[in-house]
């Protein structure tokens, strides 16, 4: 089947991107609502998601057979994705949505710090400064919300793994169709989860092994809408937008999630002044970093030489 990626308009690319980010804002809430341990939540999610992706790719004619090098890259991202999901939903289970998403919002800072190591460029003083301020904010949250210590550590690991996936996926998106990328990443991730699941459940036993009726409803929405649809929309938007633009917009995901948590669970009543101080440091640093990157990006576009007609 053909793997040709059809172009989309710039307006549609922006629309796809913002719909995806809004849908991802629900994932933390669903992680809280589904009464399963994080490992089984991910397992059932994959059980619904992988066949759906295969069907979508087949119907759209975007299913492809990867080369050995592509398969290794896709499998690596898939394994990192599973570690990311375990850490992310574990952070919510061991703390709450607000604390987990506040620490997870540091993803863009970790991306900026990891890119020089992985792509071989020099570190920048402003990125080191931003990283230090975020670290101070996380330390404040950890000290003042100590009962959520395990969840905070898992949220930081989730942010680091999300940054790794962002960097690795940049090299895959321009050449391969979105549905196919997601299918192979989730399939390889599912096989990885299956291999570690017995050991994981031994270390973190659970009395709940099967979803309830309500859990299945949440899982269907989680898998088909917040995973398949949102993932395809975000990768399709990258066919027209830069990874920088998507990463900048992803800063809205924790904002949506925290708003939903305040509204549905009244989590603001569980938080003390130390959290607000640490959370504010992280939030304004992430916003400041995004504005600086946007300014630099706009300046580079203006200064770029224009080709004559």
Token pair in block for residue 241: 């937008």
Residues in the chain where the model's pLDDT stays below 50: 1-5, 307-309
Q: What is the chain's mean pLDDT, rounded? A: 82
18 belongs to a structural domain: no
The answer to whether residue 22 sits within a structural domain is: no
Query: Do the domain assignments include residue 253?
Result: yes
pLDDT at 190: 93
pTM of the model: 0.80
Residue 220 half-sphere exposure toward CB, CA atoms < 13 A: 5
Give the per-residue pLDDT at 85.
92
What is the distance between the alpha carbons of residues 207 and 143, in angstroms, rounded to a whole number?
A: 31
Domain span at residue 204? 29-295
* Within a domain: 291: yes
Three-state DSSP state, 66: coil
* Token pair for 309: 């007609």
305 found inside a domain: no
271 φ/ψ angles, rounded to the nearest 5 degrees: -105, 145
pLDDT in tens, 17-67: 889 988 988 888 998 899 998 899 999 999 999 998 888 888 877 777 888
CB 164 within 8 A of CB 129: no
Q: How many folded domains does the chain comprise?
A: 1
Per-residue model confidence (pLDDT) at position 308: 42
How far does CA 231 lie from the centroid of its chain?
10
- Contact between 56 and 228 (Cβ < 8 Å): yes
Looking at the domain assignment, is residue 9 inside a domain?
no
Helix (H) or strand (E) holding 290: helix 273-303
Residue 217 to residue 207: CA distance in whole angstroms? 20
Phi and psi at 19, nearest 5°, equal -65, -45
Distance between terminal CA atoms of the chain? Answer: 37
Question: Tens digits of per-residue pLDDT, 88-104?
Answer: 999 998 888 988 888 88
Q: 41 near 227, Cβ under 8 Å?
A: no
Residue 62 included in any domain: yes
Has residue 302 been placed in a domain?
Answer: no
pLDDT of residue 107: 81
């Amino acid at each position: 089947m053909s793997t040709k990626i059809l172009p989309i308009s710039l307006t549609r690319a922006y629309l796809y991107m913002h719909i995806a980010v809004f849908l991802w804002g629900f994932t933390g809430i669903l992680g809280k609502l589904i009464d399963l341990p994080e490992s089984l939540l991910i397992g059932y999610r994959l059980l619904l998601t992988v066949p759906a992706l295969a069907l979508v790719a087949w119907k759209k004619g975007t299913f492809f057979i990867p080369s050995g090098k592509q398969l290794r890259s896709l499998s690596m991202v898939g394994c990192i994705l599973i570690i990311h999901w375990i850490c992310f939903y574990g952070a919510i289970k061991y703390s709450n949505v607000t604390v987990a998403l506040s620490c997870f919002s540091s993803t863009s800072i970790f991306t900026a710090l990891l890119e020089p190591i992985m792509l071989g460029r020099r570190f920048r003083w402003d990125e080191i400064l931003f990283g230090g301020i975020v670290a101070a904010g996380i330390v404040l949250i950890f000290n003042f919300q100590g009962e959520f210590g395990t969840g905070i550590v898992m949220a930081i690991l989730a942010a680091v793994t999300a940054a790794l996936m962002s960097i690795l996926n940049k090299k895959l998106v321009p050449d391969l169709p979105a549905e196919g990328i997601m299918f192979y990443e989730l399939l390889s991730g599912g096989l990885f989860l299956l291999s570690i699941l017995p050991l994981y459940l031994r270390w973190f036993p659970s009395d709940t092994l099967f979803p309830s009726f309500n859990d299945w409803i949440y899982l269907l929405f989680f898998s088909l809408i917040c995973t398949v649809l949102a993932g395809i929309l975000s990768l399709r938007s990258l066919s027209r937008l830069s990874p920088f633009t998507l990463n900048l917009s992803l800063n809205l995901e924790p904002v949506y999630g925290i708003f939903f948590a305040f509204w549905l669970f009244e989590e603001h009543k569980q938080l003390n002044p130390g959290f607000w101080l640490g959370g504010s440091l992280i939030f304004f640093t992430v916003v400041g970093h995004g504005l600086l990157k946007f300014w630099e990006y706009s300046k580079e576009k203006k200064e770029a030489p224009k080709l004559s007609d």
